[in-house]
Structure 1
Amino acid sequence: MATRTQARESVIGLLYAYDLGNEEIAKFVDEILEEKKIRNSQKEFALNLFNGTIKNIEVIDEQIIAFITQGTIDDVGSVEKSILRLAIYEILFENLSKAIVINEAIELAKRLASDGAPKFINAILDQIKKV
């Protein structure tokens, strides 16, 4: 059985594809999650996260823009942006522990993103959690 971390990692991949312009990815979410063996309650969790993030992407991006200290949202890498979008969605719209969400985002950034990403992501999420 897949873990929530694996479900989140799959959602980040879907959000990454979406960010690169593949808006049709939403039609294939079920198949992609099945391929990654994300099933049952974890599949529901992943679907909720993906759909919720896409539905609220404008609000989420406004939060990213508000707390970027250098550059613009377009300067943020797609992987980093996908991790941030997911974590911000969870912080703002889900009833989950903010500390757990932030820790998960940092750990996923260590595995999936550039070297400076964990620190960058932590700084933005730390500001959002205080709002």
Structure 2
Amino acid sequence: MATRHQVRQSVVSLLYAKEMGSEMEQFSNEYLEEKKIRNDQKNFTIALYNGILDNLNSIDTLLNNYLGKWKLDQIGSVERQILRLGAYEMRYSDIDLAIAINEAVILANELSSESSIKLINGVLDAIAKELK
């Protein structure tokens, strides 16, 4: 059974694949099966993924407000997807804000660079301060 962290990794991968132009229905089913994400965890993955897509404009607007001199389209695609997931969980789910930030930082540590970790942590921490 996949962990919640593995689900989040998969959501970032699916968002990345969509942005790169993959045919999502077939790709997502194959990808989730390959990662052994099934049943409740598959439903959770799909709910996160669709929730982000359904709220993409408001998530991107929120993130752009906190990126300072940068804009979302100026940062790497993986970092963009991690930020979207983190912002979605913080704003649209009942997860504790600190857990959402921590999960995003762990994902950045696994998938990105040191400077990206700092960026992701800083942006999500600033959002958390507003949401408290």
TM-score norm. by structure 1 comes to: 0.92
SS in 2 for 1:116: helix
Shift of 1:27: 5.0
Whole-Å Cα distance in 2 between the matches of residues 31 and 17 of structure 1?
13
Q: Residue 80 of structure 2 aligns to which amino acid in structure 1?
A: K
Whole-Å Cα distance in 1 between the matches of residues 8 and 38 of structure 2?
13
Answer whether contact 1:7 1:45 (CA < 8 A) is retained: yes
Shift of 1:80: 0.2
Whole-Å Cα distance in 2 between the matches of residues 78 and 115 of structure 1?
15
Within 5 Å, give how 1:10-29 maps onto structure 2.
10-22=10-22, 24-29=23-28
Answer whether contact 1:84 1:121 (CA < 8 A) is retained: yes
Who is 1:6 aligned against?
6
Shift of 1:12: 0.3
Q: Residue 13 of structure 1 aligns to which amino acid in structure 2?
A: S
TM-score norm. by structure 2 comes to: 0.92
Whole-Å Cα distance in 2 between the matches of residues 80 and 93 of structure 1?
19
SS in 1 for 2:2: coil
Runs of 4+ in 1 over 3 A off after TM superposition: none
Runs of 5+ unmatched residues, structure 2: none
The question of 1:47 aligning with 2:46 is answered yes
Runs of 5+ unmatched residues, structure 1: none
Aligned length: 130
Who is 2:103 aligned against?
104
**Deviates most, 106-115 or 31-40:** 31-40
Who is 1:91 aligned against?
90
